[in-house]
Amino acid sequence: MFAVLQTEETRRAGIFGRLLDRIKPLRAESRMAEGFGTRYQQITAVYRATGELDWEDILQAAGGNRTRMVLPRGLELPEGVPIQRYEPTLFLEQVLVHTAAQILDKCRLQPYRKVAGLIDWEGNYLSAAHRLVMHSSVLKVLTGSADRYETFARQMLELYGAPVVLCDRLESLEESVLILSPGSFCSREPVCLQGPVLAGGEQQLAGRCQVVDRFLLSYPPALGQDIPRGIAPIDLLGAFYEHNGIRELEQLLPAGGYCGTNLVTLSDIIAYVEEKMIKQTARS
């Protein structure tokens, strides 16, 4: 189980509001809510007249769920408050892999042209690599941890005849039609990547690169109507996936994401990939 914190503005203001906060403080309210047939804790806290939240009160309301709490994206935790903000790291990885697989499947390219790239410098995304192998002709993995991939690469070739090419330079991914980067990555190597980068973390890349991130998910009807205010859908859905075991959520497809300041849909990404490959074929 997990907890969700939603906040409300106070109607108390000025010196009398601050006095009333001392005499009769507004306590955080806690109740059990339901979603996907499971339960989670929903906490509502009201700001004080000073513009601050009573974090001690929130901690008491959260109890054991203080280590798995979904917070509004714009809310900063004060230093020293023993609350662990939930980050949808694992869930975002699954959504990105599923999205990449769908794009590769729907692109109207000859199978041999479906060369995919994966940026995994630390060697943490072997499960993502396995999924991508099933949807590409060749998988190129940019990694600084080749030892973690050597056995995997050999097994993929033996079991499926699927080549997994390990590399340590970003330029090796320039011909990939699609690149997945689940975590943060920084490179000063100037490159011209043909395919877009689907990113789950911050990307600092030099050269010509189209990075798509900040993916937008909508709440499925199965969640029901009890939706907390001010919470990013990917955070709440990720908590259901990771803490309440709703594994089918990894099959959700985002409506789109942002490439810089531009909102792009999955259809836009597919069209971009197809257009790039057509131009590349014409040049060759």
Token pair of 19, please? Answer: 């006095």
User: What residues have CB less than 8 Å from 281, skipping those under 6 apart?
Assistant: none
For the chain, the structural domain boundaries read 3-70, 89-217+252-283
Q: Where do runs of H (alpha helix) occur along 161-265?
A: 233-243
What does the alpha-carbon distance between residue 178 and residue 117 come to, in Å, rounded to a whole number? 6
- What SS3 state is found at 166? strand
Fold adopted by 89-217+252-283: Rossmann fold (3.40.50)
Token pair of 140, please? Answer: 């190129």
Per-residue model confidence (pLDDT) at position 25: 64
Other beta carbons within 10 Å of 80: 6
Per the CB < 8 A criterion, the answer to whether 180 and 96 are in contact is yes
Per-residue model confidence (pLDDT) at position 27: 80
The overall longest dimension of the chain from CA atoms, in Å, is 78
Per-residue model confidence (pLDDT) at position 227: 82
Per-position pLDDT tens, the chain of length 284: 999 999 987 665 666 556 555 666 668 899 999 999 999 999 999 887 677 888 999 999 999 999 999 999 989 999 999 999 999 999 999 999 999 999 999 999 999 999 999 999 999 999 999 999 999 999 999 999 999 999 999 999 999 999 999 999 999 999 999 999 999 999 999 999 999 999 999 999 998 899 999 999 989 888 877 788 889 999 999 999 999 999 999 999 999 999 999 999 999 999 999 988 776 665 55
Per the CB < 8 A criterion, the answer to whether 18 and 49 are in contact is yes
What does the alpha-carbon distance between residue 140 and residue 152 come to, in Å, rounded to a whole number? 13
Per-residue model confidence (pLDDT) at position 224: 78
pTM of the model: 0.88
